[in-house]
Chains A and B, each alone.
Chain A
Amino acid sequence: MFDRLTFILGEWLVSIRRNLGMVLLGIITVTVCIFVSGGLTLTYLGVLKYGQSLTDKFEMRVFLRDKTSIAQISTVAKQIRSMDGVASVNWIPRDKAWEKMKIEYPERTRDLDNVLPDAYKVVLKDLSRSDALAKSIQAMPDVQPDGVRYLQNTQKKVEESLKFLKWIGLVAGGLLALVSGVLIFTVVRLTAMSRRLELRIMSLVGATYTTIYTPLLLEGTFQGLLGGLVAGLLLRLSYAQLQAVVKGSQFISELPPFPNNQVFIACAGLGAAYGLLCSILALLNLRGKIR
């Protein structure tokens, strides 16, 4: 068993040595592919987390028309509560709001009667539903025209960022994956072609398929694995740099620690699986061409 293993590993090293330049190129493209895709994924997850954290703070103010009765206030509150995406609805009586305003802005409210309407504080649980909710609430007859106020712009920006990241991740990551896949495929194919005499001899003397093809499959897997690990390392370094920048800033809260294990396992696993897949495709493509 050990003897067999040393032979297969020896063959694998010969394969790598024979196309070292191409192997390095393959590793570099896998690294770039996984680094870019991984970076975009981490950014996407960060923005998503930020968006989710916004929902807790996300409050909508709904201002009612003048002279709305208590019964009407109660009915409207019930209607809003029953809407999908609403976490809670709290009535803000106009008198209480005026009292608070007088304390906060005494100069502006001096000698004035209460000008505020009754209102609700609506807390949302689903950020993506806010537009639809605002429209529905706005359509209620007891709500003032333009009586719904919320952080529409922030939410839109978060949503747009997520959409952009998703697209750029798919396009850039996909293209890079394609390039690295083609490179691994070509390297394995080139190796097989450059070693066709050895493969033929092995086939003639009855070497098992494991002995013949494992070194070539290992070659592709190795490129993917190494590319993934280097990409993981680069992501770690970039994140550390970002953490240092954020730490110096007064406006951005500190970034969470880098998920070392998850990132390295994901990058290496993804790279190795992708390399193996490309090698299998290359060998299937060569089937019958090497006897």
Chain B
Amino acid sequence: MQSPKPYVEFKDVSVSYRKQSEAVAKINLTIDEGEFVFLVGKTGAGKSTLLKLISREISPQSGTVVIDGKVISEQFSIAIPRLRRKMGIVPQDFALLPKKTVAENIAYASRAAGKTKRQTRRRMAFILFGIHLEHKMHSFPDELSGGEKQRVAIGRALINDPPILLADEPTGNLDPEHSMEVMQLLMNLNERGTTVIVASHDMMVVEQLGKRVIRLDEGRIISDSKFDAPHPAQPEIEDAEEMGSQLAEDLPETITPEEEPEEEESLQLVEDLGTPEISEANPNV
């Protein structure tokens, strides 16, 4: 079996915003193509800084950041837009234009990214379908729930069909129900091959999904579930089916009582929610 190729690499990366404190210190990290990674830690641990390094919002004081074999930390700022068109960025605050509808918000970003009207129209239908918001395409952000807003933000991040998606606290403003809704969407994208990196402090969601978790503290990696033994705080779920049932309970909007799935559909849902990855990541579960 072919081993996955590294997509994001941090090599001895250090960043300090002020002279006194280092936001990240000598970070060495590799994220493979198609991986789903959580960056967790308390505020100021360096999660957002790592995402900003990938999106070249900041540059490291030392070390190199490599994406898809290219050292982006040494690229001139003129190359940043091209780099950003190869990634989807989902901000925590949604950053939706309040006076534009869902469709207009996505179309605006698409046109800004250089797509023609025709390309935008074609891609729009696909994106709205992907984020399950076809029925809300004419709604304004004020008329959407937090989860829906975040889904629009994710949809907007997909306009360039990026191979990598960066999400900074995508569930930070959401209740657990909507958090799972957003996570499911991210997992679906990951299953289609997109590398997903999520900065989060929502441990409940992180631990339920059983993906690779990188813990940060004071700018240093203190644990990486890819290499470490399972963390004792991880949920003690007897089997994948139970995990799936739990997630299904957390997603009342996707499965309404009238549409309660048959047993076969329920199993399909379990698969959709990424159970195989849970088993792979944590073989002891």
Contacts and interface: CB of A to CB of B under 8 A. Distances in A.
Interface of A: 3-4, 7, 197-198, 200-209, 211-212, 291
For A3, A205, A212, which residue has the most chain B Cβ atoms within 10 angstroms?
A205
A202 B84 CA distance: 10
B91 interface: yes
A88 to B, nearest CB: 66
A211 B114 contact: yes
B95 A201 contact: yes
B82 A7 contact: no
B95 A204 contact: yes
Q: Which 5 A-B pairs have the closest CB atoms?
A: A206-B84, A206-B85, A207-B112, A202-B112, A205-B113
A200 B95 contact: yes
B101 to A, nearest CB: 15
Given A200-B95, A201-B95, A201-B156, A206 B117 contact: no
A201 B114 CA distance: 13
14 contacts: A4-B114, A7-B112, A197-B97, A198-B112, A200-B95, A201-B112, A202-B112, A205-B109, A205-B159, A206-B81, A206-B82, A206-B113, A208-B114, A212-B112
Interface in B100-117: 108-114, 116-117
Contact of A197 (B84, B95, B113, B159): B95
B197 interface: no
Contacts of A206: 80-87, 113-114, 160
Given A3-B116, A4-B114, A208-B114, A201 B109 contact: yes
B222 interface: no
Classify chain B: how many residues form its interface, as a range. 20 to 34
Nearest to A211: B112
B111 A209 contact: no
Contacts of A200: 91, 95
B78 interface: yes
Interface string B42-80: 000000000000000100000000000000000000101
B89 interface: yes
A205 B116 contact: no
Given A201-B108, A201-B156, A291-B57, A207 B95 contact: no
Nearest to A200: B95
A201 B97 contact: yes
A291 B80 CA distance: 12
A4 B120 CA distance: 13
A197 B110 CA distance: 15
Contact of A209 (B78, B85, B160): B78
Contacts of B159: 205
Contacts of A198: 97, 108, 112
B160 A205 contact: yes
B84 A204 contact: yes
Given A206-B160, A212-B112, 11 more contacts: A201-B95, A201-B108, A201-B156, A202-B112, A202-B113, A203-B84, A205-B156, A206-B85, A209-B78, A211-B114, A291-B57
A4 B95 CA distance: 23
A14 to B, nearest CB: 10
A254 B45 CA distance: 81
Contacts of A212: 112
B81 A208 contact: yes
Nearest to A204: B89
Contacts of A202: 109, 112-113
B114 A204 contact: no
Contacts of B57: 291
Contacts of A211: 112, 114
B84 A209 contact: no
Nearest to B84: A206
Contacts of B85: 205-206
B81 A209 contact: yes
A273 to B, nearest CB: 25
A6 B27 CA distance: 44
Given A201-B108, A201-B156, A291-B57, A207 B113 contact: yes
A227 B226 CA distance: 64
For B109, B117, B157, which residue has the most chain A Cβ atoms within 10 angstroms?
B109
A209 B112 CA distance: 10
A281 B117 CA distance: 33
A209 B33 CA distance: 29
A206 B111 CA distance: 11
Nearest to A210: B81
